[in-house]
């Protein structure tokens, strides 16, 4: 077995095979303690080559001053670094980057997030998770996922030996999830009437959402040239997002790759946009819709607020119906009418820009089930009339 070489300075390392661990090991000097003692880092790998590569990387980090002592890496700093790396490698897009950074800031508020990752205990993680049960299930799920990623990566990078989250389960929110529903046909008729006959802020965007199923963030990010009325289609290639300062900006892409799509326009949608474009005023962003009063990008929140006021003022909603109604209900309304009209799940998935057909099926399972039951009845009547009748 090769003998262990003595290190002479920061960055010098030795490689040897450890029979007790059953793996190759390298030790490299990374500095000195406050007492002046030499501080070393151990690097492990299944092969000598793997350890050599890890050693070279550490040596390079030491040489250029980028090496961080694992004992000083805090939970939140490690989480931020993982998100930044994913973004720089194009693993996540701007929209996901902003969303993950927002979730990380929820974790950052906790005390344990600022502890060195090597000192964090299972109990501290559980205490943090218990403390965020007042958030929605969506936020809890995202925070839990970020923490799991953090400690899994810490194990892989050999910052810690044991994962303190191995036996930690995701908690559930104290809040009851509100299911956003589609409008009924009567509610939709009433809403269309109001939007066509009353002066409602952003009414065109609301109608377009019901007629195309687009997300409001996609609608407000439309370039004027994304609309082709000659061929009756819209090219969806980006969406609104938020920057690191939580300011609304135009994203480079849509929410997902599947969100980048070209959708056909119905005759009603073509007529709506044709009429709207007659009074269109150019703006510096070249956007189809724009906040001319404030001379800035129109946010989804602005449309949402206008929609909420509309519902109350004109008594559009039937309160006997189960489920909550929000601006996103207009997208659900489009999808539900498509299903009721006989559209397949696969076609609807493409139109809505869902990455996975499971999302389409799970989101609109009730509508698909009702549509299926209606067609079973038609099949049954057909069978009795043409096959089973004597």
Residue 2 pLDDT level (bands cut at 50, 70, 90)? very low
C-alpha count within 13 angstroms, C-beta hemisphere, residue 362:
6
The confidence score (pLDDT) of residue 21 equals 76
Average pLDDT of the chain to the nearest whole number: 84
Residues β-bridged to residue 39: 31
Higher pLDDT, 131 or 245: 131
Query: Quick one: average pLDDT of 74-94?
Result: 85
Contact 321, 184 (CB under 8 A): yes
The confidence score (pLDDT) of residue 343 equals 86
> 337-381, pLDDT tens digit by residue?
888 888 888 998 999 988 888 878 777 877 777 776 666 666 667
C-alpha 314/C-alpha 194 separation (Å) is: 8
Residue 326 pLDDT level (bands cut at 50, 70, 90)? very high
Contact 116, 188 (CB under 8 A): no
The confidence score (pLDDT) of residue 66 equals 52
> 113-130, pLDDT tens digit by residue?
999 998 999 999 999 999
Q: Could you identify the residue written with the tokens 């377009």?
A: 208
Residue 71 pLDDT level (bands cut at 50, 70, 90)? low
117 closest CA partner among 159, 86, 81, 172:
159
Higher pLDDT, 177 or 67: 177
270 closest CA partner among 239, 227, 237, 236:
227
Q: Does residue 7 register a pLDDT over 50? A: no
Of 8-22, 200-214, 279-293, minimum mean pLDDT range = 8-22
Residue count of the chain: 390
Contact 236, 226 (CB under 8 A): yes
pTM (global) more than 0.75: no
Question: Would you state the structure tokens that stand for residue 122, as one six-digit string?
Answer: 């299972």
The confidence score (pLDDT) of residue 1 equals 44
Of 49-53, 73-77, 225-229, 263-267, minimum mean pLDDT range = 49-53
C-alpha count within 13 angstroms, C-beta hemisphere, residue 15:
15
Question: Would you state the structure tokens that stand for residue 181, as one six-digit string?
Answer: 């529903």
Number of Cβ within a 10 Å radius of residue 389 = 7
Q: Give the three-state DSSP class for 142.
A: helix
C-alpha 207/C-alpha 147 separation (Å) is: 41
The confidence score (pLDDT) of residue 12 equals 46
């Amino acid at each position: 077995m090769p003998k262990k070489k003595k290190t002479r300075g920061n960055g010098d390392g030795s490689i040897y095979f450890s029979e007790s661990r059953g793996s190759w090991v390298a030790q490299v000097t990374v500095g000195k303690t406050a007492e002046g003692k030499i501080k070393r880092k151990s690097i492990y790998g299944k092969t000598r080559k793997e350890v050599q590569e890890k050693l070279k990387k550490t040596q390079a980090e030491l040489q250029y001053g980028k090496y961080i002592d694992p004992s000083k890496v805090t939970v939140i700093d490690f989480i931020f670094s993982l998100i930044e790396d994913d973004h720089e490698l194009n693993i996540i897009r701007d929209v996901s980057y902003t969303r993950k950074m927002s979730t990380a800031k929820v974790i950052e508020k906790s005390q344990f997030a600022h502890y060195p990752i090597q000192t964090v205990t299972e109990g501290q993680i559980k205490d943090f998770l218990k403390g965020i049960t007042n958030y929605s299930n969506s936020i809890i799920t995202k925070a839990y996922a970020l923490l799991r990623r953090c400690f899994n990566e810490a194990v892989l990078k050999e910052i810690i030996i044991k994962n303190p989250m191995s036996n930690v389960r995701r908690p559930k929110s104290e809040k009851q999830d509100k299911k956003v529903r589609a409008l009924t046909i009567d509610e939709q008729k009433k809403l269309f009437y109001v939007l066509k006959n009353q002066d409602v802020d952003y009414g065109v965007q609301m109608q377009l959402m019901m007629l195309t199923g687009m997300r409001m963030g996609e609608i407000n990010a439309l370039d004027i040239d994304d609309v082709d009325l000659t061929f009756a289609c819209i090219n969806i290639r980006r969406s609104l997002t938020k920057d690191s300062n939580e300011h609304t900006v135009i994203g480079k892409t849509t929410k997902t790759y599947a969100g980048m799509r070209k959708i056909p326009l119905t005759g009603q949608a073509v007529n709506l946009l044709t009429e709207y474009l007659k009074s269109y005023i150019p703006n510096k962003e070249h956007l189809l819709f724009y906040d001319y009063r404030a001379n800035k990008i129109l946010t989804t929140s602005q449309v949402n607020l206008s929609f909420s006021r509309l519902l109350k003022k004109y008594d559009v909603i039937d309160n006997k119906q189960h489920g909550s109604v929000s601006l996103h209900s207009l997208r659900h309304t489009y999808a539900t009418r498509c299903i009721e009209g006989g559209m397949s799940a696969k076609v609807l998935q493409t139109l809505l820009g869902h990455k996975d057909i499971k999302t389409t099926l799970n989101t609109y399972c009730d509508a698909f089930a009702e549509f299926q039951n209606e067609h079973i009845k038609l099949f049954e009547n057909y069978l009795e009339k043409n096959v089973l009748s004597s």
